[in-house]
């Protein structure tokens, strides 16, 4: 197809489509305005823009032809050297519009200037239009790009025209929109290198999508009017295990609905709403990601969610990263160092057991090797602890009681009871378990911080014969395991509960 044939075909198509009826919601509603981001690009010619990303405000119901002509008129307003008007087209602004040429600051860049397949093509929201631009009504907050093509009637800029193979181009719309907003505010300099890099990526015709996404992320992170993750991290150590991420908000920023989600190494996720975050001054908040000791080396990726579906992803960090940094920063704080070491050892030895959560974790190195002497010290430390039961046993309304611990960010103590035959028990059980072929009813007291593991926890059960009480000290679990014949030869489990005891002691001293 020759350039003349192409132009004729486009003119015929434009004239035909110009008579199409637009949806009433778009064509008839002229109240209000829309704001669109417009670019005019000649990257295929010399890697440059004629019009860099620019916000243009138009009446609602305005078309692609009206938007590009207004943008070009505004671009060259007051320029005595510019061609007047700075464009050439067939049809009119409102009917059968076909853009033939644009003034690029030195000359008209027109169709067929670079071969019979060259000319101007347009895409809106990353979709190339196939009708006259005067027939395309622009929605609010859209991105419209006019690009000069040299080969394939647009194939070189990503348009599959007439079955041609399109170049693999990235979707740059989100980055264009952000740059247009920055330019409209006149704050380019405040974004520093992030803005310079964004423009470099935009001028690169075949920039990979990952480069475009990275440029956008860097631009959002550098925005002085947007939230940002702090570079400092802290940990919750004495009450629960948790890694804390700081978010700084600009003064006056609307934080309603903000929250931070946390992505774990195994694909799990959790989140914390700003209403539960800890304030640090007027404009900063700490968001805590809870974890268990098995996860100390796993990287946690935080993402802030704010505004209308805006997100900001922070740098991945692990609890062990903080632990190592804290050791270097506070070498003389012996209580802190003892707590950090005991927590790391607890995680290390727990990973060696078969008490896994079914997830493959990053290995945690140990700080101290444990032996029989350490086990003996732990056993002596819990010697006086145990489980106290009233109205429990043979001939009583509750025949048997067993207990266990759930080792997580905070510890939970679980009690399992076996009522006597014919006895009903309240409150209702949270779950049931089969133990040695018998049915037991399970109850739990959770959210116990490490420094409180030596305190008794009381469960009260009501049966037809009255009340029965079970008092459990969570730390007595260490005693139960170390004295158990079942685990007598299991060094890993004995080391794990010994490390758990050491963590308890260090948390109490901290």
Question: Are residues 304 and 258 in contact, defined by beta-carbon separation less than 8 angstroms?
Answer: yes
pLDDT reported for residue 100: 97
Name the helix (H) or strand (E) containing 36: strand 33-42
Calculate the alpha carbon distances from 404 to 438, 442, 476 in Å: 17, 10, 10
Q: What mean pLDDT is reported for the chain?
A: 88
180 vs 464, higher pLDDT: 180
Other beta carbons less than 10 A from residue 111's beta carbon: 22
Is the per-residue pLDDT at 240 higher than 80? no
Q: What is the pLDDT of residues 491-507, one digit of tens each?
A: 999 999 999 999 999 99
Sorting pLDDT into bands at 50, 70 and 90, what band is 28? very low
**505 and 391 both lie in a single domain:** yes
Alpha helix (H) residue ranges in 223-332: 319-329
Q: What is the pLDDT of residues 44-99, one digit of tens each?
A: 999 999 999 999 999 999 999 999 999 999 999 999 999 999 999 999 999 999 99
Sorting pLDDT into bands at 50, 70 and 90, what band is 170? very high
Other beta carbons less than 10 A from residue 225's beta carbon: 13
3-state secondary structure of 311: strand
Does residue 351 form part of some domain?
Answer: no
Does residue 126 form part of some domain?
Answer: yes
Does residue 261 form part of some domain?
Answer: yes
Question: Are residues 319 and 299 in contact, defined by beta-carbon separation less than 8 angstroms?
Answer: no
Which of 322, 344, 369 is where one domain is finished? 322
Q: What is the pLDDT of residues 148-164, one digit of tens each?
A: 999 999 999 999 877 77
3-state secondary structure of 315: coil
**157 and 268 both lie in a single domain:** no
Does residue 348 form part of some domain?
Answer: no
**387 and 242 both lie in a single domain:** no
Per cent of the chain over pLDDT 70 is 93
**185 and 132 both lie in a single domain:** no
Is the per-residue pLDDT at 18 higher than 70? no
Sorting pLDDT into bands at 50, 70 and 90, what band is 12? very low
**29 and 66 both lie in a single domain:** yes
276 by Cβ neighbours in 10 Å (0-12 / 13-18 / 19+) ranks as exposed
**274 and 393 both lie in a single domain:** no
pLDDT reported for residue 373: 95
Instruction: Please give the tally of structural domains in the chain.
Output: 4
Q: Which domain holds residue 198?
A: 180-222
pLDDT reported for residue 405: 87
C-alpha–C-alpha distance, residues 419 and 445, integer Å: 20
Name which of 114-118, 132-136, 485-489 the model is least confident about: 485-489
pLDDT reported for residue 155: 95
Q: What residues contact 57, with CB distance under 8 A and at least 6 apart?
A: 33, 34, 35
**218 and 232 both lie in a single domain:** no
Question: Are residues 418 and 438 in contact, defined by beta-carbon separation less than 8 angstroms?
Answer: yes
Calculate the alpha carbon distances from 244 to 233, 236, 287, 345, 407 in Å: 6, 7, 5, 21, 20
**156 and 36 both lie in a single domain:** yes
C-alpha–C-alpha distance, residues 256 and 273, integer Å: 10
Q: Which CATH number fits the domain that encloses residue 162?
A: 2.170.130.30
pLDDT reported for residue 360: 82
Question: Are residues 289 and 245 in contact, defined by beta-carbon separation less than 8 angstroms?
Answer: yes
**33 and 102 both lie in a single domain:** yes
- Rounded mean pLDDT, 116-127: 96
Which of 322, 352, 369 is where one domain is finished? 322
**67 and 136 both lie in a single domain:** yes
137 vs 161, higher pLDDT: 137
Name which of 176-185, 281-290, 457-466 the model is least confident about: 457-466
**388 and 267 both lie in a single domain:** no
Does residue 127 form part of some domain?
Answer: yes
Largest CA distance in the chain: 106
pLDDT reported for residue 289: 93
**133 and 190 both lie in a single domain:** no
- Rounded mean pLDDT, 212-226: 88
Does residue 144 form part of some domain?
Answer: yes
Question: Are residues 151 and 117 in contact, defined by beta-carbon separation less than 8 angstroms?
Answer: yes
- Rounded mean pLDDT, 110-136: 96
Does residue 15 form part of some domain?
Answer: yes
pLDDT reported for residue 409: 64
Does residue 364 form part of some domain?
Answer: no
Q: Which CATH number fits the domain that encloses residue 309?
A: 2.60.40.10
Sorting pLDDT into bands at 50, 70 and 90, what band is 239? low
């Amino acid at each position: 197809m020759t350039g003349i044939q192409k132009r004729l075909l486009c003119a015929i198509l434009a004239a035909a489509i110009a008579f199409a009826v637009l949806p009433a919601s778009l064509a008839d509603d002229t109240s209000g305005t829309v704001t669109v981001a417009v670019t005019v690009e000649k990257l295929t010619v010399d890697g440059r823009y004629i019009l860099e990303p620019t916000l243009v405000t138009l009446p609602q119901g305005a078309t692609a032809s009206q938007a590009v002509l207004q943008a070009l008129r505004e671009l060259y307003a007051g320029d005595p050297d510019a061609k007047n008007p700075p464009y050439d087209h067939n049809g009119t602004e409102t009917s059968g519009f076909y853009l033939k040429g644009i003034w690029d600051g030195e000359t008209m860049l027109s169709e067929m200037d670079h071969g019979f397949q060259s000319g101007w093509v347009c895409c809106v929201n990353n979709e190339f239009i196939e009708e006259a631009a005067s027939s395309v009504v622009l929605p609010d907050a859209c991105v419209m790009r006019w690009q000069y093509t040299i080969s394939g009637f647009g194939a070189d800029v990503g348009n599959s025209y007439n079955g041609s193979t399109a170049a693999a181009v990235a979707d740059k719309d989100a980055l264009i929109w952000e740059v247009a907003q920055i330019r409209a505010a006149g704050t380019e300099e405040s974004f520093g290198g992030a803005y310079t890099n964004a423009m470099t990526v935009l001028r690169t015709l075949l920039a990979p999508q990952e480069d475009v996404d990275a440029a956008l992320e860097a631009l959002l992170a550098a925005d002085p009017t947007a939230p940002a993750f702090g570079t400092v991290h802290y940990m919750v150590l004495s009450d629960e295990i948790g890694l804390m991420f700081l978010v700084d908000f600009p003064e006056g920023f609307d934080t309603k609905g903000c929250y931070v989600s946390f992505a774990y190494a195994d694909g799990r996720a959790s989140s914390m709403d700003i209403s539960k975050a800890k304030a640090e001054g007027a404009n900063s908040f700490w968001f805590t990601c809870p974890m268990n000791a098995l996860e100390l080396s796993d990287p946690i990726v935080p993402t802030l969610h704010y505004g209308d579906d805006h997100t900001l992803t922070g740098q991945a960090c692990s609890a062990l990263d903080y632990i190592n940094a804290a050791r270097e920063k506070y070498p003389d704080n012996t209580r802190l160092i003892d707590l950090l070491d005991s927590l790391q050892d607890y995680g290390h030895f727990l990973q060696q057991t078969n008490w896994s959560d079914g997830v493959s974790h990053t290995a945690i190195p140990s700080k101290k090797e444990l032996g029989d002497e350490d086990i003996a010290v732990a056993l002596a430390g819990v010697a006086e602890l145990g489980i106290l039961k009233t109205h429990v046993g043979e001939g009583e309304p509750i025949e048997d009681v067993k207990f266990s611990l759930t080792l997580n960010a905070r510890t939970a103590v679980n009690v399992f009871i076996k009522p006597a035959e014919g006895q009903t028990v309240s409150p209702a059980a949270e779950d049931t378990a089969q133990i040695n072929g018998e049915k037991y009813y399970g109850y739990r007291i959770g959210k116990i911080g490490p420094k409180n593991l030596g305190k008794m926890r009381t469960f009260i059960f009501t049966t037809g014969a009255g009340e029965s009480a079970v008092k459990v000290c969570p730390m007595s679990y260490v005693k139960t395991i170390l004295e158990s014949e079942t685990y007598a030869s299991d060094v890993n489990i004995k080391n794990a509960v010994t490390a758990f005891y050491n963590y308890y002691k260090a948390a109490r001293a901290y």
